[in-house]
Amino acid sequence: MAKERKSPQEKKSLEYTRDHFTFAEHSSFPKTWKRKKTHANREYRRKSDELLVQAKPGMAADDVALIADDLTAALFQKSVVRKPLRKTGTVTAGEKVKLGLAKRDQRVGRRAQSHEAYDRAATLAVRTLTSLDGERLVSAARRAGILCGLGFTEEHGRLLRSSDSLDRALYFLYLLTSGSGREIDALRRNEELGAALTAWVTKANRILARDRRAIEKKVEQKQMAGKKVNALRRATHPIV
Protein backbone atom coordinates (compact mmCIF):
# COMPACT_ATOMS: atom_id res chain seq x y z
CA MET A 1 0.00 0.00 0.00
CA ALA A 2 1.46 3.34 -1.06
CA LYS A 3 2.21 5.82 1.68
CA GLU A 4 -0.20 8.70 1.82
CA ARG A 5 1.42 11.89 0.58
CA LYS A 6 1.03 15.02 2.68
CA SER A 7 0.67 18.55 1.44
CA PRO A 8 3.27 21.18 2.43
CA GLN A 9 0.73 22.70 4.82
CA GLU A 10 0.17 19.34 6.53
CA LYS A 11 3.92 18.76 6.79
CA LYS A 12 4.41 22.17 8.36
CA SER A 13 1.54 21.57 10.81
CA LEU A 14 3.11 18.27 11.87
CA GLU A 15 6.47 19.96 12.25
CA TYR A 16 4.96 22.61 14.55
CA THR A 17 3.31 20.02 16.81
CA ARG A 18 5.79 17.13 16.67
CA ASP A 19 9.24 18.76 16.67
CA HIS A 20 10.57 20.18 19.92
CA PHE A 21 13.11 22.86 20.71
CA THR A 22 15.31 23.29 23.76
CA PHE A 23 16.48 26.73 24.90
CA ALA A 24 20.07 27.44 25.91
CA GLU A 25 19.27 27.49 29.66
CA HIS A 26 18.05 23.87 29.33
CA SER A 27 20.96 22.55 27.29
CA SER A 28 21.13 19.39 29.45
CA PHE A 29 17.63 18.31 28.36
CA PRO A 30 18.75 15.40 26.07
CA LYS A 31 20.66 13.72 28.89
CA THR A 32 18.01 14.28 31.54
CA TRP A 33 15.20 13.14 29.21
CA LYS A 34 17.03 9.91 28.43
CA ARG A 35 17.59 9.33 32.15
CA LYS A 36 13.91 9.94 32.93
CA LYS A 37 12.79 7.45 30.29
CA THR A 38 15.25 4.87 31.59
CA HIS A 39 13.97 5.24 35.15
CA ALA A 40 10.33 5.03 34.02
CA ASN A 41 10.98 1.86 31.99
CA ARG A 42 12.89 0.30 34.87
CA GLU A 43 10.02 0.99 37.26
CA TYR A 44 7.54 -0.49 34.76
CA ARG A 45 9.59 -3.67 34.40
CA ARG A 46 9.95 -4.02 38.18
CA LYS A 47 6.19 -3.76 38.72
CA SER A 48 5.60 -6.26 35.92
CA ASP A 49 8.04 -8.70 37.48
CA GLU A 50 6.33 -8.36 40.84
CA LEU A 51 2.98 -9.21 39.26
CA LEU A 52 4.32 -12.11 37.20
CA VAL A 53 6.65 -13.53 39.82
CA GLN A 54 4.25 -16.39 40.50
CA ALA A 55 4.20 -17.38 36.83
CA LYS A 56 7.95 -17.97 36.58
CA PRO A 57 9.40 -21.01 34.75
CA GLY A 58 9.19 -24.26 36.72
CA MET A 59 5.68 -23.64 37.96
CA ALA A 60 3.43 -26.70 38.09
CA ALA A 61 0.68 -27.11 35.51
CA ASP A 62 -2.02 -27.23 38.15
CA ASP A 63 -0.81 -23.91 39.64
CA VAL A 64 -0.79 -22.30 36.21
CA ALA A 65 -4.43 -23.24 35.74
CA LEU A 66 -5.30 -21.69 39.12
CA ILE A 67 -3.83 -18.26 38.33
CA ALA A 68 -4.71 -18.19 34.64
CA ASP A 69 -7.99 -16.43 35.28
CA ASP A 70 -6.34 -13.80 37.48
CA LEU A 71 -3.60 -12.77 34.99
CA THR A 72 -5.77 -11.47 32.23
CA ALA A 73 -4.59 -8.69 29.91
CA ALA A 74 -7.10 -6.22 31.34
CA LEU A 75 -6.00 -6.95 34.89
CA PHE A 76 -2.35 -6.63 33.92
CA GLN A 77 -2.88 -3.23 32.30
CA LYS A 78 -4.86 -2.04 35.28
CA SER A 79 -2.32 -3.24 37.83
CA VAL A 80 0.81 -2.06 36.03
CA VAL A 81 0.55 1.56 34.91
CA ARG A 82 3.42 3.18 33.05
CA LYS A 83 4.44 6.44 34.73
CA PRO A 84 3.61 9.41 32.46
CA LEU A 85 6.57 11.57 31.52
CA ARG A 86 6.45 15.33 31.40
CA LYS A 87 8.87 17.33 29.29
CA THR A 88 10.23 20.42 31.02
CA GLY A 89 12.57 22.99 29.52
CA THR A 90 11.41 22.32 25.98
CA VAL A 91 8.71 23.67 23.70
CA THR A 92 7.23 22.62 20.41
CA ALA A 93 8.33 24.31 17.22
CA GLY A 94 4.97 26.09 17.05
CA GLU A 95 5.36 27.43 20.59
CA LYS A 96 8.87 28.59 19.74
CA VAL A 97 7.56 30.56 16.77
CA LYS A 98 4.86 32.17 18.95
CA LEU A 99 7.44 33.13 21.59
CA GLY A 100 9.68 34.66 18.93
CA LEU A 101 6.86 36.73 17.50
CA ALA A 102 5.85 37.92 20.97
CA LYS A 103 9.42 38.97 21.76
CA ARG A 104 9.64 40.84 18.47
CA ASP A 105 6.44 42.75 19.27
CA GLN A 106 7.85 43.61 22.70
CA ARG A 107 11.10 44.88 21.17
CA VAL A 108 9.17 47.10 18.77
CA GLY A 109 7.12 48.49 21.65
CA ARG A 110 10.19 49.11 23.80
CA ARG A 111 11.95 50.86 20.92
CA ALA A 112 8.97 53.11 20.32
CA GLN A 113 8.67 53.92 24.03
CA SER A 114 12.39 54.65 24.20
CA HIS A 115 12.08 57.00 21.22
CA GLU A 116 9.19 58.80 22.90
CA ALA A 117 11.19 59.30 26.10
CA TYR A 118 14.21 60.73 24.29
CA ASP A 119 12.02 62.84 22.04
CA ARG A 120 10.37 64.38 25.12
CA ALA A 121 13.77 65.02 26.70
CA ALA A 122 15.03 66.69 23.52
CA THR A 123 11.91 68.84 23.22
CA LEU A 124 12.12 69.97 26.85
CA ALA A 125 15.85 70.70 26.60
CA VAL A 126 15.59 72.77 23.42
CA ARG A 127 12.51 74.60 24.69
CA THR A 128 14.30 75.48 27.93
CA LEU A 129 17.48 76.70 26.23
CA THR A 130 15.73 78.75 23.58
CA SER A 131 13.55 80.48 26.19
CA LEU A 132 16.61 82.06 27.87
CA ASP A 133 17.60 85.64 27.25
CA GLY A 134 19.75 88.34 28.77
CA GLU A 135 21.96 87.37 31.69
CA ARG A 136 20.30 83.94 31.97
CA LEU A 137 21.36 83.18 28.42
CA VAL A 138 24.92 84.37 29.08
CA SER A 139 25.13 82.30 32.28
CA ALA A 140 23.77 79.16 30.57
CA ALA A 141 26.17 79.56 27.63
CA ARG A 142 29.14 79.87 29.98
CA ARG A 143 28.05 76.83 32.00
CA ALA A 144 27.54 74.84 28.80
CA GLY A 145 30.99 75.83 27.55
CA ILE A 146 32.57 74.50 30.75
CA LEU A 147 30.47 71.33 31.08
CA CYS A 148 30.74 70.28 27.43
CA GLY A 149 34.50 70.69 27.45
CA LEU A 150 35.05 68.23 30.30
CA GLY A 151 34.63 64.54 30.87
CA PHE A 152 32.03 63.22 33.31
CA THR A 153 32.50 64.92 36.69
CA GLU A 154 30.58 65.25 39.94
CA GLU A 155 28.83 68.29 38.47
CA HIS A 156 27.55 66.17 35.58
CA GLY A 157 26.27 63.64 38.09
CA ARG A 158 24.46 66.40 39.93
CA LEU A 159 22.84 67.56 36.69
CA LEU A 160 21.76 63.99 35.95
CA ARG A 161 19.98 63.72 39.31
CA SER A 162 18.55 67.24 39.22
CA SER A 163 14.90 67.94 38.44
CA ASP A 164 15.60 71.53 37.33
CA SER A 165 14.74 72.03 33.67
CA LEU A 166 17.90 74.05 32.93
CA ASP A 167 20.13 71.45 34.59
CA ARG A 168 18.46 68.72 32.55
CA ALA A 169 18.86 70.78 29.37
CA LEU A 170 22.58 71.31 30.02
CA TYR A 171 23.03 67.59 30.70
CA PHE A 172 21.24 66.81 27.42
CA LEU A 173 23.61 69.20 25.66
CA TYR A 174 26.59 67.47 27.31
CA LEU A 175 25.40 64.04 26.13
CA LEU A 176 24.85 65.44 22.66
CA THR A 177 28.36 66.87 22.39
CA SER A 178 29.77 63.62 23.84
CA GLY A 179 28.36 61.74 20.84
CA SER A 180 25.45 59.94 22.51
CA GLY A 181 23.52 58.32 19.67
CA ARG A 182 20.09 58.40 21.31
CA GLU A 183 20.13 62.16 21.78
CA ILE A 184 21.45 62.66 18.25
CA ASP A 185 18.71 60.42 16.82
CA ALA A 186 16.07 62.35 18.76
CA LEU A 187 17.13 65.55 17.00
CA ARG A 188 17.30 63.80 13.65
CA ARG A 189 13.70 62.69 14.03
CA ASN A 190 12.64 66.31 14.55
CA GLU A 191 14.36 68.69 12.16
CA GLU A 192 12.78 71.76 13.74
CA LEU A 193 14.29 70.90 17.12
CA GLY A 194 17.67 70.33 15.51
CA ALA A 195 17.54 73.69 13.74
CA ALA A 196 16.47 75.50 16.92
CA LEU A 197 19.26 73.92 18.94
CA THR A 198 21.82 74.73 16.23
CA ALA A 199 20.73 78.38 16.34
CA TRP A 200 21.05 78.41 20.13
CA VAL A 201 24.52 76.83 20.01
CA THR A 202 25.59 79.46 17.46
CA LYS A 203 24.37 82.20 19.79
CA ALA A 204 26.14 80.59 22.76
CA ASN A 205 29.38 80.29 20.78
CA ARG A 206 29.23 84.03 19.99
CA ILE A 207 28.89 84.76 23.70
CA LEU A 208 31.85 82.51 24.53
CA ALA A 209 33.91 84.07 21.73
CA ARG A 210 33.14 87.51 23.12
CA ASP A 211 34.28 86.34 26.56
CA ARG A 212 37.50 85.02 25.09
CA ARG A 213 38.16 88.29 23.30
CA ALA A 214 37.54 90.19 26.53
CA ILE A 215 39.98 87.94 28.39
CA GLU A 216 42.58 88.26 25.63
CA LYS A 217 42.16 92.05 25.67
CA LYS A 218 42.70 92.17 29.44
CA VAL A 219 45.80 90.01 29.12
CA GLU A 220 47.09 92.22 26.35
CA GLN A 221 46.39 95.36 28.38
CA LYS A 222 48.18 93.84 31.36
CA GLN A 223 51.19 93.01 29.22
CA MET A 224 51.24 96.52 27.75
CA ALA A 225 50.99 98.01 31.25
CA GLY A 226 53.89 95.85 32.36
CA LYS A 227 55.99 97.02 29.42
CA LYS A 228 55.24 100.69 30.23
CA VAL A 229 56.21 100.17 33.87
CA ASN A 230 59.49 98.55 32.83
CA ALA A 231 60.16 101.39 30.40
CA LEU A 232 59.56 104.00 33.14
CA ARG A 233 61.85 102.15 35.49
CA ARG A 234 64.64 102.09 32.95
CA ALA A 235 64.14 105.81 32.24
CA THR A 236 64.16 106.68 35.93
CA HIS A 237 67.10 104.45 36.81
CA PRO A 238 69.40 104.42 33.79
CA ILE A 239 71.96 101.67 33.65
CA VAL A 240 75.50 103.12 34.05
Per-residue confidence band for 64, with pLDDT thresholds at 50, 70 and 90: very low
Burial class (CB in 10 A: 0-12, 13-18, 19+), 130: middle
Q: Give the separation between CA 62 and CA 74, rounded to whole angstroms.
A: 23
Write out pLDDT tens, residues 153-195: 898 889 988 999 999 999 999 999 988 888 899 999 899 999 9
Q: 89-98, 115-124, 161-170: which has the minimum mean pLDDT? A: 89-98
Above 90 in pLDDT, residue 110?
Answer: no
Is the pLDDT at 143 greater than 50, yes or no?
A: yes
- pLDDT value at residue 138: 93
The pLDDT value recorded for residue 239 is 54
- What does the alpha-carbon distance between residue 77 and residue 63 come to, in Å, rounded to a whole number? 22
The answer to whether residue 199 scores a pLDDT higher than 90 is: yes
Q: Mean pLDDT: which of 53-62, 107-116, 126-135, 215-224 is highest? A: 126-135
Question: What are 13-41's pLDDT values in tens digits?
Answer: 888 887 777 765 556 666 777 787 888 88
What stretch of H or E contains 20? Answer: strand 20-22
pLDDT at 237: 62
pLDDT-derived band at 130, boundaries 50, 70, 90: very high
133 φ, ψ (degrees, to nearest 5): -155, 170
